[in-house]
Amino acid sequence: MTPARIQRRLSECLADNAVLTEVPGAAAAIWIDDRLYEAATGVLSVDTRVPVTADSVFQIGSITKMLTATLVMQLVDQGLIDIDRPVVSYLPEFCVADAEATATVTPRQLLSHMSGVEGDLFLDTGDDDSALQRYVAAGQSLTQIHAPGRAVSYCNFGYSVLGRLIERMTGLSWAAALRERLVVPLGARRLLTRLDEVVKERVAVGHVVDPQTRKVGVVSKTYLPVSLAPAGSTVVAALADLMLFARMHLDGGRNASGQILLSPESVAAMQSIEGLLPSPQWALQARGLGWVLSSWSGQPVYGHDGGTTGQASFLRVLPHRRMAMILFANALTRPKELFHSVFSEFFRDLGGVEMAKPPPAIDMDRVDAAKLAGRYRSLSTTIEVFQRDGRLFLRSFDTASPGDAAKGDQTTELEPVSPRGFRMLTPGLSSPDGVVFHDEDERGIPRLMLVRVRNFAREA
């Protein structure tokens, strides 16, 4: 594609899809051949009808974890921490319910989501500079989904602990450390954490869709607690400013001026496999020190997604082509479909790779459903897996994580793609999520079930 064609097609693709998928507004950017292309469509809010522009700011959610991971690796570069020493050696107040986990969990395990600690403690501990300290102290009641290092299981709590570690080692609040050590050196003017800064920008607000009427409305709560800031609750960014961060990782840790912000060794370490996700997770294959690591058409791809109160974000980097792409959307109902539609076209046409796709379905007679059926739990959600009419279903209930697409009491059919791997047949969604049963005991009964990116421990 010519530069003009890239720009035109990006605008066309974004506008067409945003309307079709009940997303009020969206913005996307591509970095390729040392050029930035941006497009925007829709409105920042269905109430105000203010148009989205390319310089509008959206909540980036858990993409923030990559900022936090980079700050941690800067401490490694400075010789201030060793990510293989126990966290408690730097943070004596770190304590979870399991004594062995308290004594042994390392920053490496927190970075790669392999601590096994219950991850979704959504607790508001205030919005001052001591919020993280109070939040980490509240973790003493958190139990283990599995033993440290045994599996990959998404852990928001772990990234708030890392944020507190950054505070302890720098003497700055996490937000101040982010500004001084990353935002300012990157020149990222619209990568913000403070409300007094955010209100000066064109700000997207989150939306939800009523499942019965399909009516789109503004969320009642704008932000998640400050205690989850290092994990993704507060940061907003414009496309070009977040792209400066992606480019820094593409350029071996150097900013646009050539200044080294992160050593090439730490950049490479963040992109190296720390833990494999059980097969067949077609979209998420492994975890690095922060990054989600995938392979498209045999080429490595790294990135991360974000989801907050009614907003979603996606970042993918194709290093061999020096290409990166970002998508922001101010709805959580169907942004993944928008992501697949927009990203697949441009990574195919510009990057020469095909996005990973779900494998074909297999017959249920290859599945030992009786061994999979049972109750699985995490801190915020309980899941029942059961058989009915020769098919397998998943029922989730109680309170799911704030910002998660799945809340409340929901029943979803599981379509097998392997004897232990399934895709969730969620009505109306063309991009299914994966479910994998794994870590089997001597009877072949799984002890863990991975749903999307979270593990659930078997209870019965």
What is the structure's pLDDT at 399?
55
Centre a 10 Å sphere on the Cβ of residue 239 and count the other Cβ atoms it contains. Answer: 27
What is the structure's pLDDT at 406?
41
pLDDT above 80 for 21? no
Fold entry, domain 1-357:
Beta-lactamase (3.40.710)
Structure tokens, 3: 């530069």
How many angstroms separate the CA atoms of 84 and 255, rounded? 28
Q: Report pLDDT digits (tens) over 407-430.
A: 456 789 999 999 999 998 876 555
What is the structure's pLDDT at 291?
97
As a whole number, the mean pLDDT across the chain is: 92
How many angstroms separate the CA atoms of 170 and 230, rounded? 15
Mean pLDDT of 238-247: 98
Instruction: Output 433 or 237, whichever has higher pLDDT.
Output: 237
- Can you give the residue ranges of every domain in the chain? 1-357, 364-458
Q: Which are the catalytic amino acids?
A: 62
How many angstroms separate the CA atoms of 56 and 25, rounded? 10
Our CA dihedral for 242, 327, 66, 61, rounded to 10 degrees, sits at 100
Most confident stretch, 70-84, 381-395, 444-458:
70-84
- pLDDT band, residue 333 (cuts 50/70/90): confident
CATH number for the domain running over 364-458:
2.40.128.50
**% of the chain residues with pLDDT over 90:** 77
The reply to whether 1-357 and 364-458 are identical in fold is no
- pLDDT band, residue 22 (cuts 50/70/90): confident
